[in-house]
Amino acid sequence: MGLIEAQGLHFSYGDLMVLEDITFSIEQGQMVTIIGPNGGGKTTLLLLALGLLQPSRGQLLIKGKKPVAMQRIMGYVPQFSLFDPHFPITVYDVVLMGRLSRPFGFYSKADHGAVDQALATVGLCELARRPFSELSGGQRQRVLIARALVGQPEILLLDEPTANVDASIGEHLNELLRRLNQQLTILLVTHDTAFVANFTSRIFCINRSLAEHPARGMDTGTAADSLYGTAVRAVRHDVHLETHSHVDQQGSCRHE
The span from the CA of 26 to the CA of 197, in Å, is 18
Question: How confident is the model at residue 121, as a pLDDT?
Answer: 95
pLDDT by residue (tens digit) across 5-33? Answer: 999 999 999 999 999 999 999 999 999 99
Does pLDDT of 120 surpass 90? yes
- Distance of alpha carbon 186 from alpha carbon 180, whole angstroms: 8
Predicted local confidence at residue 50, as pLDDT: 94
Q: Which helix (DSSP H) or strand (DSSP E) does residue 227 occupy?
A: helix 220-228
Q: In this model, does residue 100 exceed pLDDT 90? A: no
DSSP states along 101-128: -STTPPPPHHHHHHHHHHHHHHT-GGGT
Mean pLDDT of 70-87: 79
Q: What is the pLDDT of residues 196-211, one digit of tens each?
A: 788 899 999 999 999 9
Q: Residue 236's pLDDT is what?
A: 28
The pLDDT confidence band at residue 183, using thresholds 50, 70 and 90, is: very high
